[in-house]
Structure formats: C-alpha cells, structure tokens
Amino acid sequence: MFEFRQIASLVAAVGCLAPPSAPAQSTSGVVTGFCRIVRGWTNYSTAFNATHDLGAEGDFATVASFYTPATDALPVEYGVIVVWLGSDNQRLDFAGFEFCVSIWSSVDAFRLDPRQGDLATYTFAAPTGGSPQQPDTTTRGGRPAYELRFHLTNAPPTLTQCQTCLVGFAARARVQQEGELFVPTGPQEGPSDVQAGSLVPFGFDYLINAGGLTIYSGQLATELLVQPLGALPSLSVRREADALQLSWPAGGGCYALEATDALGPAAAWVPVPEIPQETNGLIVLTLSPTTAVRFFRLVK
C-alpha cells in the first residue's frame, strides 16, 4: 500500500556568499551573485597584488574570483576592496591608475590570457562607484582599504547557468612610481580564488592547487551583482505507479537534491543518496514508497 505523504519543496539558492545581514536581492531585479566584502571590516588579511605596469612588456598581476550562476545572468556591477602600497614619501592618487574588470569562460581561458577576458573586458579611467577619497576602513596593519565599484552595463555577456566562469580585476599604473594596489581576502571559507601574472611567486597555478593558501582560504574581497535572465529551477513531484518521482530541469546540473524529515530552524538537510538520471531535458529521481513524511529541496 503506497501512502503518498512525501512532500517536495524548493529552497532558492542564488549562490550569494554575503554575510547573513547582506541583502541577496533588490527591488530592481538585480541580485548578488557573490559577495565577500564586509564593509568597515578591519581584519583583511593576506592580499594579492593586482597591479599592471602599462606597456606590453610591463610587469602585471591579475586576480579573479570563481562564479557559477544560479540562472543565466547578465553582470551588472563589480565591487572590490583595494589596499594601496607605496613608498613612505608617496601619496595615493587613484588618477594614476586605470582599472580593468574582465570575465573569462574558464580557468583554461584565464591561464591562456590573464591580461583580458575571453568573454568581456571593461576598462575604466576611474571607478564608477565607491569612494576613492574616503577609505571604507583602515586595516589592522594601519593601511587604508577602499571599496571601488564598476558598472558592467556596456554589452555584458550572458553568463550561463551552472557554468563556472571567472571575474577578475587589475589596476594599471600609469607610471611605475604610483605604487601598487592589492586585493585582500575576505572572511569566507572556500576554495582559493586565483591570481596570474609575472609578479606572482611560484606561478598562479600554485594558488589554485593549494586549495587555501591564505588564512581565509583565498576568497578575494570582491562582489558581483547580476541580473537573472530566468527563474531558478523548480522541483516537481508526482506519483509514478507505486513510486515517487522527483524531477528538475537538466540545465540545473549544479543543483543537488537534499531531504529532511521535518522543517524549521533546526532542520537537518542531508543529501539524497540515490543517483538521478537525465532524460528528455529533465533530471529525474524515482524513490521507493515509504510512509514517512519527507521534505525535499534543491541547493546550489
């Protein structure tokens, strides 16, 4: 006797790494793709050089963050924390730099040409947001940290659902004496972001393979806002003979199915061990009957 008491639910996971207090979505339809910036935070730790000297033969360094869109999306705005390092007799002048935000389709594309993205490269004479005059905070080491922001609305590429890309930053010094801008790591744990360039010790592959070179696992203090082009994948449930069939769109391959016996703040969500199959554009999982109540969700 099959008792149809299993219940399916969907928890929308937009991939935001922001602190719990940070909003994941605005009323304009723009959402947070990822966020590792904690405004006013003084404990920014290890920082990666992100400075280019102008000219084809100049030294250079680029930093980039991994991003896997929850849905197809357009990049809207990029934010980055920078810390300046110069000589004792120097004064920081952001007019001495031009800034570059690039998007790569893969690590291989980043490795092939870290100076510019194969999907898009945006060059700015000055930040389009943030405050180059007023520091966001002063680090525990006594250096000012600035939040710079850049609008990416000029012919943005479509970032494909569940396809991991890289979004990177470089600051090109107009003259070598301008000093260097470093991008620090934020407080979030996770696999290391990447860095490439002739200024990078050991080569940037070292940062990738280390899986956490810095105190905070190499998650750069960056943020990306995006405009979703579609809805999050929905989880469907139906009775199939004497079994329960769960399905969701095959395009949501970066989503996994989890289950719990009870909802609430203390709910213990665990991965569903059964392996689904892909058929007719859907990912399908058929479960044996049970009299227990179970709740299901998709998580990215």
Average pLDDT, the chain: 80
Confidence of residue 252 (pLDDT cuts 50, 70, 90): low
Q: Could you read off the pLDDT of 212-235 as tens digits, one per residue?
A: 444 445 789 999 999 999 877 788
Per-residue pLDDT at 298: 84
The domain boundary, picked from 194, 228, 262, lies at 228
Whether 57 and 200 map to the same domain: the answer is: yes
Tell me if 29 is assigned to some domain: no
Rounded to whole angstroms, the Cα distance separating 136 from 33 reads: 22
Q: Do residues 213 and 242 both lie within one domain?
A: no
Residue ending a domain, choose from 167, 197, 228: 228
Both 118 and 197 in one domain: the answer is: yes
Comparing C-alpha atoms, which of 25, 144, 3 is closest to residue 82? 144
- Is the model's pLDDT at 125 over the cut of 90? yes
Phi, psi of 218 (to 5 degrees): 70, 25
Residue 183: what pLDDT?
93
Q: Report the pLDDT value the prediction gives residue 33, as an integer from 0 to 100.
A: 94
> Are residue 177 and residue 107 in the same domain, yes or no?
yes
DSSP 27: T
* Structure confidence by residue, pLDDT tens digits, 52-65: 876 666 778 899 99
| Domain membership flag for residue 18 | no
- pLDDT of 232 reads 78
Mention every residue, 6+ apart, whose C-beta is less than 8 A from residue 175.
Answer: 54, 96
What is residue 248's predicted lDDT score, i.e. its pLDDT? 81
**Structural domain count of the chain:** 2
What mean pLDDT comes out for the span 201-216?
A: 54
> What's the pTM?
0.77
- Residues 148 and 204 occupy one common structural domain: yes
Banded pLDDT at 194 (limits 50, 70, 90): confident
Q: Is 295 a member of any domain?
A: yes
- Look at residue 51 in the predicted model and tell me its pLDDT: 86
Q: Give domain status of residue 260, yes or no.
A: yes
Does the residue 118 lie in any domain? yes
Domain encompassing residue 251: 7-12+233-299
For residue 66, count other CB atoms closer than 10 A to its CB: 18
State the pairing for strand pair 61-67/165-173. antiparallel
Same domain, 135 and 242: no
Query: Is the model's pLDDT at 237 over the cut of 50?
Result: yes
Side chain identity at residue 90, one-letter code: Q
Q: Who contacts 39 (Cβ-Cβ below 8 Å, separation ≥6)?
A: 136, 137, 147
Tokens of 73: 């999306």
The CATH number given to whatever domain includes residue 190 is 2.60.120
Q: Is 107 within 8 Å of 166 (Cβ atoms)?
A: yes
Q: State yes or no: pLDDT of 152 exceeds 70.
A: yes
133 and 243 in one domain?
Answer: no
Residues in the chain: 300
